[in-house]
Amino acid sequence: MYSAILDAPIDVTQLLERVNNTRNGATVLFLGIVRDVNDGRDVTGIEYTAYRSMAERELATIIEEAAAIADTNDVAVEHRLGELGIGDCSVAVAVGHPHRGRAFDAARYVIEQLKKRVPIWKREQYLDGTREWVRATSTELVDAGGER
Amino acid sequence: MNVTVLLFASYADAIGRSELELDVETGATVSDVIEQVRALGEAGRLPPAPMVAVNEQYASRDRELRAGDEVALIPPVAGG
């Protein structure tokens, strides 16, 4: 299990290495990417900030929960902070498991819980020069592990 | 007794600071701290019931504080 908050670009290959295991028949990789439009407004970049020490602690807790749910230790997540441009990767989740079902479940659990619980905020920069804090991005569609 | 208050993102903008020391009465709760912090900013810019963490763990508003506690007011999180 591995989790980290980074200021540098996420190295996806290295993250995949962390969940590599000859017992695994499936690896699921989720990448969160900065896109160029949100709520109909043209976005030129996003600044991510965090309550860093708590974010690290909360991320570590989430991957422990995901590992318990999916019965695998091969869970890794990284979230990047700072100024990101369109197309940059802000978050990466990798899960390895003998079978794909549990790997998908665990990856989904990590990203959904991250969006609900980890104290990270983003400020969008718009084409018209203005900036705004994004209110909340958690979706309630799927909650593989139930509420806390 | 003193507690440290941390503010982030839109809440830091609302109050104009990201960290402050507050002198609160012994037995003060998270609610008391929220009230004091809200009084520092323009009315309404900080919600009456924000999410709160005490010493890096989510806490309820009736949580009783101890000297030296770190109380963080957490705006709606938006990671990912």
Give the ipTM. 0.93
Q: Say whether pLDDT at A14 is over 80.
A: yes
Is the residue at B45 inside a domain?
A: yes
Chain A residue nearest residue B10, CA to CA: A133
Q: Considering only CB atoms, which chain B residues are within 8 Å of A30?
A: none
Instruction: Indicate the residue of A51, A122, A133 with minimum beta-carbon distance to B72.
Output: A51
Structural domain boundaries, residue B52:
2-74
The residue extents of the domains of chain A are: 2-128
Is the residue at B13 inside a domain?
A: yes
User: In chain B, which residues touch A (CB < 8 A)?
Assistant: 6, 8-10, 13, 53, 56-58, 72, 74-80
- Average pLDDT, stretch A60-68? 98
CATH classification at residue B21: 3.10.20.30
Is the residue at B65 inside a domain?
A: yes
Total structural domains within chain B: 1
Three-state secondary structure readout of chain A? CEEEEECCCCCHHHHHHHCCCCCCCEEEEEEEECCCEECCEEEEEEEEEECHHHHHHHHHHHHHHHHHHHCCCCEEEEEECEEEECCCEEEEEEEEECCHHHHHHHHHHHHHHHHHHCCEEEEEEECCCCEEECCCCCCCCCCCCCCC
What is the rounded distance in angstroms from the CA atom of residue A57 to the CA atom of residue B56?
8
pLDDT of residue A148: 35
Q: Tell me the nearest-neighbour CA distance from B7 into chain A, angstroms.
A: 9
What is the rounded distance in angstroms from the CA atom of residue B3 to the CA atom of residue B22?
5
pLDDT digits (tens, 9 = 90+) for A100-138: 999 999 999 999 999 999 999 999 999 999 999 998 765
Looking at the domain covering A2-128, what would its CATH class be?
Answer: alpha beta
The pLDDT confidence band at residue B43, using thresholds 50, 70 and 90, is: low
Is the residue at B80 inside a domain?
A: no
Is the residue at B79 inside a domain?
A: no
